[in-house]
Structure 1
């Protein structure tokens, strides 16, 4: 076990952007890699997403760069309220979260909430689920929990 999460290996860094095509191309050029095709997150009926305890209809375009042991995720949110949209509006483009693969999502959320890190947004994706914990006051970035189905 390592720390609160049982894992201290950062698997992903999430970066908020206004124009995913432009920024994806910039990363592709910078690292001399292929530009990934952006994907659109699922609709609420599939994600069952909640933001600050309320159903979250927000969707985002995502582009993933696999950089060795770390994945860079570019996120272009739509206009609906979400952790992505609100953070982008308040802070502008740049880092949003660091992600860790965990096991036991509900237990980890409860553990972190008990330590003063409230759940901000959660949802399902094909093959697993995610949760953004509000660690900004302490860590200056959100922590995302990722739990993949076995």
Structure 2
């Protein structure tokens, strides 16, 4: 495989497939301190046309995607199969050709390659090769003109996206092999004294990815195993530190939004989850981490 040490990466956004961008944006703007990045726009790619809109949340970007009305496409097909929820992760790079060549040389399935007159280009790693996660690379020709991730506003911090996998060690090997600059920020360990799941963290393209798996002593009989049995490996939840922790929880409950698993996590931090039933298929972990 060709060396990719000189290729630069930076995480851009997590994308959520929804039936209605307007309704999803209303939800996020009501309960989180977000800032609109781009107006709702129509895009054309190899996979077909779709609408998208994105916003800043806690130092990172969230994108919402939907199919045009009356024109079912790849977003609708995804929702029919999986329901609304996280669709892909997007990473900017200044060396797409080199990255793709390296991936293909290693037998990684690359799909939906497309080049644009502007000099931009895109390619996706198939979920079949990336532990259930669809990963987009977006080639940025004028790298220095693009701004890196926005600074957190002190009201929220987008901490990580969590992937449920069968083998964290294998996931570590994949990302450290093909994603230049990836670092192990936390070795694989058991979550707490109860040993109800194992986890580890990687810093990929300047963003934290968490990997969770069933504990070795009771495989497939925990929430991770049940998730994989139902949906397959893939993106499990997002985690956000929120300054307005208590007041937001009360607003959610008052409005009939389903809040679950209110407790302290294995580090002693308070947390709760917004059920995917109430959050367009996304399980959202809220931490009390910005006091």
Name the residue aligned to 2:178: none
Does the 8 A contact of 2:109 with 2:129 survive in 1? no
Q: Which segments of 5 or more consecutive residues in structure 2 lack a partner in the other structure? A: 143-291
TM-score normalized with structure 2 length: 0.40
Greater relative CO (CA pairs within 8 A, separation 6+): 1
Show the 5 A alignment for 1:66-81.
Answer: 66-78=56-68, 79=71, 81=73
Show the 5 A alignment for 1:3-18.
Answer: 6-7=7-8, 9-18=10-19
Cα deviation 1:12-70 (Å, max 9, x = unaligned): 1111111111001111112144566311114xxxxxx434xxxxxx2111011122542
Query: Quick one: which of 114, 121, 137 aligns to 2:105?
Result: 114
Name the residue aligned to 1:142: 134
Does the 8 A contact of 1:11 with 1:69 survive in 2? no
Q: Are positions 1:129 and 2:131 aligned together?
A: no
Distance 1:4 1:60 in 2: 34
Distance 2:137 2:6 in 1: 9
Q: Which segments of 5 or more consecutive residues in structure 1 lack a partner in the other structure? A: 43-48, 52-57
TM-score normalized with structure 1 length: 0.72
**Distance 1:66-1:135 versus aligned 2 partners, 3 A rule:** same
CA RMSD of aligned residues (A): 2.8
Q: Higher helix proportion, which one? A: 1
In the TM superposition, structure 1's runs of 4+ consecutive aligned residues that sit over 6 Å from their partners are none
Q: Are positions 1:101 and 2:92 aligned together?
A: yes
**Distance 1:119-1:4 versus aligned 2 partners, 3 A rule:** farther
Name the residue aligned to 2:223: none
Name the residue aligned to 2:25: 24
